[in-house]
Chain A
């Protein structure tokens, strides 16, 4: 009896020890994350004022804002979403509605999930090679210049190249959420529409897409959240600059690049702007994630 008691005591003691360790781990992790958010808020709010939205990025230790970078980021991000979302939507539709379990669909699903976590700097290297670097003096560039004239965006750094890179990150996100959301639509709905004589494309567009609409929009929002802070893919595609430049066929200013450059600069005013920009990006990302979460349909 006594021995039994000591065994129970020992088990209870170990239980206490490990549960305490779990609580400590949780406290440790949450503490750091809270600290980051706190520093971001205090330093970011310190640097945030009206000038941030109305003036362009300063050179040296002058005062200034982030207006050109905000506009540039909005341009690059919007174009990336416009380019990437339709492709992702259609590819996700293929996986969920046509391909299902064919070998091709399985292969594409696998490749898509790899692309979802591929280091984003490699995406930058890829776009740099096909849009920026290998192009000068090639027939492709000559054709491009012949057709588009000064608007040709090949052969040099440009906002459009950055959008291509970000679109490559948007596509896998949208594919994944679209497929998941379409698979949640009950088959009965598809069968009912087909029994009424609707062609397959009609069933998909007017029934399945509509039923999964909230989920698909969620995917789009998550994709925007994902790319709005991406820095590495823009480094060798947009390059970035400090002037007013809204022409997407050439270098434009981008908020993440400005944060990167200003954080590495020796000037306090640029540090303050870097924190303000970081706060803006984080606020955007968190808002988008919260909206996406509110829209997300409950899983059955």
Chain B
């Protein structure tokens, strides 16, 4: 009696176990399927984004052809559109931002890793990282209400007066001091990407093996020589990669720029003059755009921005990937 009961129990538990294994197996398949679908959705979003921009830009491309990329006329009433002025503004404002932010960001990183008293390193480092997360609209309204008026009153007129007569510079920094304009936009962008560059650079500096730095100090190098000849060469690809990521942000930034650039489709020689960028043009005009062609022209601008930032970001990714592999091995 007892034996048969035990045998029954065993066969029951065996079939139960088999059922459990089957159930687990099918649940595995379903779960794997869900994660794969989510991962493919990421890919689909990317392709959809690119596809929608291309399709949306088609009417403008059909009408203007390659001429869109070489004209600077922007006349919605006459339905004549060209991308040169916004592309110029986008590139120049981002370049101004990088010229200011990269050296200052590296300076902050050197300060944080070598000079700053140990007790202050963490607080200042954390503060810099937190600032990297502040939404760009905050930089925008600060630029509009605080920086532009101050800059106009105290810096711009002085610079214009004192550079008058200096070749090249008198043209680059000429014109009536509006406060807003290309330089102001670039400067605010530089403040915005600064915490980002500083944080990335500091992280890369910290991956430099202490042994290498100590060896250089042991040979009698000064702190600066260690930074310049040991730390920077070692960290070069990380610093360049991080700066490229920041450049990608600066190129596509909307809110920090739109407030202070002036939305002017004319290209001026002076950096103090008003201008426009791709994202500022879209932000300012898209909601009020009338007609399919106007919309399509703005979307084609967006497509150009997509390609520019894609190139910059892809390069940055590849450089940082290479660095990660090196750090991993």
Contacts and interface: CB of A to CB of B under 8 A. Distances in A.
Nearest to B310: A114
Interface residues of A, number: 96
- Classify the interface of chain B: helix, strand, loop or mixed: helix
Interface string A97-126: 111000011011011111101111111011
Central interface residue in B31, B115, B223, by most chain A CB within 10 Å = B31
A200 B252 CA distance: 41
Contacts of B194: 29, 32-33
A21 B144 CA distance: 30
Contacts of A201: 24, 27-28, 30-32
A171 to B, nearest CB: 6
A122 B53 CA distance: 8
A204 B255 contact: no
B299 interface: yes
Contacts of B298: 125
Interface string B29-64: 011101111111111011011001101100000000
Contacts of B228: 18
Contacts of A228: 135
B115 A22 contact: yes
Contact of A232 (B46, B139, B222, B283): B283
Contacts of B36: 94, 98
Contacts of B191: 29, 32-33, 36
A222 B41 CA distance: 21
B311 to A, nearest CB: 10
A130 interface: yes
Interface size, B (range): 35 or more
B86 interface: no
A110 B317 contact: yes
Interface string A269-282: 00100110010011
A98 B313 contact: no
Interface in A241-300: 256, 259-260, 263-264, 271, 274-275, 278, 281-282, 285-286, 289-290, 293
B2 to A, nearest CB: 29
Contacts of A226: 133
Interface string B119-131: 0000010111011
Interface string B97-112: 0000001111110111
Contacts of B46: 111, 114-115
Contacts of B38: 86-91, 93-94
Interface stretch (B5-13, B164-172, B208-216, B301-309): B301-309
A119 B133 contact: no
B254 A231 contact: yes
A54 interface: no
Contact of B142 (A39, A129, A198): A39
A180 to B, nearest CB: 11
B155 interface: no
A120 B286 contact: no
A239 B287 contact: yes
Nearest to B252: A119
Contact of A117 (B104, B126, B249, B279): B249
Interface stretch (A7-15, A59-67, A141-149, A212-220): A7-15
A29 B249 contact: no
B259 interface: yes
A115 to B, nearest CB: 6
B137 A229 contact: yes
A45 interface: no
A231 B115 CA distance: 38
B218 to A, nearest CB: 16
Given A33-B128, A36-B142, A198-B24, 8 more contacts: A86-B38, A88-B38, A113-B313, A129-B55, A204-B31, A225-B133, A231-B137, A235-B283
19 contacts: A14-B222, A22-B108, A24-B107, A26-B108, A26-B116, A30-B124, A33-B131, A36-B142, A37-B131, A94-B36, A117-B248, A122-B306, A126-B53, A171-B41, A201-B27, A201-B28, A222-B133, A231-B255, A232-B254
Interface of B: 21, 24-25, 27-28, 30-32, 34-43, 45-46, 48-49, 52-53, 55-56, 103-108, 110-112, 114-116, 124, 126-128, 130-131, 133-142, 144-146, 191, 194-195, 198, 222-225, 227-228, 245, 248-249, 251-255, 259, 279, 282-283, 286-287, 295, 298-299, 302, 305-306, 309-310, 313-314, 317
- 8 residue pairs, one from A and one from B, having the closest CB atoms: A229-B135, A25-B107, A119-B252, A199-B24, A90-B38, A201-B31, A15-B222, A26-B111
